[in-house]
Amino acid sequence: MKRALLRGSAKRSSRLLALLIGVLALAAYPVLSDNLYVQNMLILTFILAIGASGWNIMGGYAGYISLGSSLFTGLGAYTAGILVADFGVPPFIGCLVGGVTAGVAAALLSLVTRRTRGMYFVIVTFAALQLFGLIARNWKSVTGGSSGLAMPLPMWNIAYQDWPFYYSLLVVLLAAIAVSVLIRRSKLGTGLFAIKDDEDKASGIGINAAAYKMIAFVLGSIFIGVAGGIYAYYISFITPAGMFDIVASVLMVLAALLGGRGTIWGPVLGAFIIEPLSELTTTSFGGPNAGSFRLLFFAGILVLVVLFLPKGLIPSISEALHNTARMGALRIARGSSSSGASARTQVAGERGASAMAGDALKVSGLTKSFGGVKAVNDVSLRVGAGSVTGLIGPNGSGKTTLFNLIDGTVTPKAGTVALAGTSIERASRARRAHAGLARTYQLPRLFDSLSVIENVVAPERRFSLTRLFLPRMSGDERDQALDVLAQFGLAGFADISPSDLSYGQRKLVELAQILSLDPVLVMLDEPAAGISPALTERLTAIIRNLNGQGIAILLVEHDLAFIAELCDNVFVMADGEVVAEGTVAELTGNAVVVDAYLGEPAALGIGKVKS
């Protein structure tokens, strides 16, 4: 253990040393050499690296691919250009204001794209770029239109050449990298990775996805805007075609993908490879169609990278290096996890006894159809505070859809939902989670980009801006989560990816995860289906224990023996309606219930029930 820690810190300091040498070499270059060609190439590389790093916060961390990010370059450039050329504002301030303009534009674009995902986000950002380009071309009185805007010449001594551009861009790049690191290590980063993996699930554990995405987009865009401002002053003459340039957008995406999106250094490495290539194409593709050739060339490389190097260089290389080490760690984890199978779960119960009186959940008249199928039809049911209530019914009877209506994944056509006496049917999914509603899924949904323990810490009990910038996991949070994992018999798996777990273990981790919401009500969708008898036993003990702490539970399960052992009261659904309610003993004799299961006592599991 100690040796591993030592090795870790040695690795960290050698990485820091490499970084220091790299930065010093870049900082020394203009002083040591007056090769302006290389200096120019490095300046353009810095600009691309800033663009790719800025893009990466939204595109790599949150998984939202923007094809319009050069719109922030353009906005930064024109803001700085107009301020400097027309109003005599100092360039330094002009560039910073350019960053602010880009940030504001990103916030607005976030609002517009709040509900768009995947391909639609790509298209909207692309369209936004075109729109801003169009405005810049036509708003001639301010931008100079297609004939461009000239900036005043630099006022410093010619002996300093391009140093001010070079060093200010190097500083902006280092700042962009530092912010990327900070975000990655903060709760904001956890949330963004969760959003990338499974945005719906993230909302269900209280993560305010819209706010996270807006902050990510704004932070990334500010850097692109500042760099755009410096770029404008550097080339001293800007045109809409050159600034709001789709090729520049593609290059940012390409650099990030090639180097490894979602990593810190991937976008930077990618930029250092792509920019020299780009330089080559500008010198070798001439003529009126040069722009189209370049677009085709880079689009082609983009396709090749997506097909043959989907993770990018840095992840692929580090995977190859670490594969053997990781297998070893996994073997150790497997070995140690068999101990500690007791299930005395202690969840920090801040909500206290306030939720104890009345109903934990009260559903009235919930209705939802999919096309012609009435999946849930006028369903009313209640889960008493502190009770374990069962919900059974044949496949397709509407149980999962009912869960989806209760937690807001699906919007009902009619009906009301109250959690501990407060009506929540109009609340967002994150709000419902904050109110203490927690659920698991029939097929467990975990964030594979996060470790098991990070998954457990990920849920958010309330939204607060300052919290987003706290470290990803405090010592206390880690201890608490380790405690819960230990009680579930999963402590040995804390630091591996959930994708390395068995199906049953994933189900348990999901349960451990939602307990971090400090729930009033836990809805479990077939928790025992497809897991081993040993895990089922552990699960029974866990559910009993949660219930003992006053958490109400709504349990969907096919295994009637399991239901009979845990539930005080059971609802039966068939064809989207509640057809019966009672104890298991009462229900097994009920003709309607037996009929609902197509008259197959075996399907009901009746044979297994002893009472």
State the binding partner of 45 from ligand ADP, Mg ion, none, CB within 5 to 8 A by kind. Answer: none
State the binding partner of 393 from ligand ADP, Mg ion, none, CB within 5 to 8 A by kind. Answer: ligand ADP
Query: What is the secondary structure of 546-611 as a DSSP string?
Result: HHHTT-EEEEE-S-HHHHHHH-SEEEEEETTEEEEEE-HHHHHT-HHHHHHTTT-HHHHTGGG---
State the binding partner of 397 from ligand ADP, Mg ion, none, CB within 5 to 8 A by kind. Answer: ligand ADP
Q: Is 237 helix (H, G, I), strand (E, B) or coil?
A: strand
Cα separation, 67 vs 321, in Å, equals 32
Where in 185-268 does DSSP place strands (E)? 237-238
Cα separation, 557 vs 528, in Å, equals 7
Nearer CB in complex with ligand ADP: 139/370: 370
Residues constituting the chain? 611
Cα separation, 301 vs 314, in Å, equals 17
Question: In the bound complex, what is the minimum distance in angstroms from residue 404's beta carbon to ligand ADP?
Answer: 7
Region 416-455 residues binding Mg ion, contact defined as CB under 5 A: 442
State the binding partner of 242 from Mg ion, ligand ADP, none, CB within 5 to 8 A by kind. Answer: none
Per CB under 5 A, does 143 bind Mg ion?
no
Of 315, 216, 194, nearest to 266 by C-alpha is 315
Per CB under 6 A, does 324 bind ligand ADP?
no
State the binding partner of 295 from ligand ADP, Mg ion, none, CB within 5 to 8 A by kind. Answer: none
Stretch that binds ligand ADP, among 5-13, 202-210, 346-354, 398-406 (CB under 6 A): 398-406
Per CB under 6 A, does 550 bind ligand ADP?
no
φ and ψ at residue 449, rounded to 5 degrees: -80, -10
| Residue selected from 114, 370, 422, 495 as contacting ligand ADP according to rule CB under 6 A | 370
| Residue selected from 98, 204, 262, 398 as contacting ligand ADP according to rule CB under 6 A | 398
* Kind of pairing between the strands at 577-582 and 569-574: antiparallel
Of 438, 514, 447, 452, nearest to 482 by C-alpha is 452
Stretch that binds ligand ADP, among 196-204, 367-375, 382-390, 588-596 (CB under 6 A): 367-375
Per CB under 6 A, does 408 bind ligand ADP?
no
The per-residue b/e assignment along 96-116, b for 16 or more CB within 10 angstroms, e otherwise, is: bbbbebbbebbeebbeebeee
Nearer CB in complex with ligand ADP: 262/393: 393
Per CB under 6 A, does 373 bind ligand ADP?
yes
The count of residues interacting with ligand ADP (CB under 6 A) is 11
Stretch that binds Mg ion, among 314-322, 364-372, 400-408, 582-590 (CB under 5 A): 400-408
Nearer CB in complex with ligand ADP: 124/373: 373
Per CB under 6 A, does 395 bind ligand ADP?
yes
Nearer CB in complex with ligand ADP: 62/573: 573
State the binding partner of 373 from ligand ADP, Mg ion, none, CB within 5 to 8 A by kind. Answer: ligand ADP
Stretch that binds Mg ion, among 253-261, 394-402, 417-425, 591-599 (CB under 5 A): 394-402
Per CB under 5 A, does 400 bind Mg ion?
yes
Amino acid identity for residue 531 in this structure: I
Nearer CB in complex with ligand ADP: 178/443: 443
Q: How many CB atoms lie within 10 A of CB 152?
A: 11
Per CB under 6 A, does 399 bind ligand ADP?
yes
Kindly give the interhelix angle for 209-235 and 163-185, rounded to the nearest 10 degrees. Answer: 170
| Residue selected from 53, 101, 221, 401 as contacting ligand ADP according to rule CB under 6 A | 401
| Residue selected from 190, 208, 239, 400 as contacting ligand ADP according to rule CB under 6 A | 400
The count of residues interacting with Mg ion (CB under 5 A) is 3
Question: In the bound complex, what is the minimum distance in angstroms from residue 398's beta carbon to ligand ADP?
Answer: 4
Per CB under 6 A, does 396 bind ligand ADP?
yes
Of 514, 550, 537, nearest to 441 by C-alpha is 514
Q: Where are the alpha helices (DSSP H) in 368-434?
A: 399-407, 429-434
Per CB under 6 A, does 409 bind ligand ADP?
no
Question: In the bound complex, what is the minimum distance in angstroms from residue 413's beta carbon to ligand ADP?
Answer: 13
Query: Mind spelling out the 3-state secondary structure of 14-58?
Result: HHHHHHHHHHHHHHHHHHHCCCHHHHHHHHHHHHHHHHHHHHHHH
Cα separation, 494 vs 509, in Å, equals 10
Question: In the bound complex, what is the minimum distance in angstroms from residue 373's beta carbon to ligand ADP?
Answer: 5
H or E element in which residue 480 lies: helix 475-487
Nearer CB in complex with ligand ADP: 142/598: 598
Per CB under 6 A, does 124 bind ligand ADP?
no
Sign, Cα dihedral of 389, 393, 397, 401: positive
Is residue 451 within 8 Å of residue 513, measured between CB atoms?
no
Question: In the bound complex, what is the minimum distance in angstroms from residue 207's beta carbon to ligand ADP?
Answer: 22
Between the alpha carbon of residue 511 and those of residues 189, 494, 539, 553, the distances in Å are: 22, 14, 10, 12
Of 415, 130, 145, nearest to 244 by C-alpha is 130
| Residue selected from 375, 419, 473, 509 as contacting ligand ADP according to rule CB under 6 A | 375
Question: In the bound complex, what is the minimum distance in angstroms from residue 514's beta carbon to ligand ADP?
Answer: 19
> Using alpha carbons only, how large is the chain's radius of gyration in Å?
29
Per CB under 6 A, does 529 bind ligand ADP?
no
Sign, Cα dihedral of 14, 15, 20, 22: positive
Per CB under 6 A, does 393 bind ligand ADP?
yes
Question: In the bound complex, what is the minimum distance in angstroms from residue 557's beta carbon to Mg ion?
Answer: 10
Q: How many CB atoms lie within 10 A of CB 260?
A: 24
Q: Which residue is nearest to Mg ion (CB)?
A: 400
Residues forming contacts to Mg ion in the complex (CB under 5 A) are: 399-400, 442
Which residues contact ligand ADP by CB under 6 A?
A: 370, 373, 375, 393, 395-401
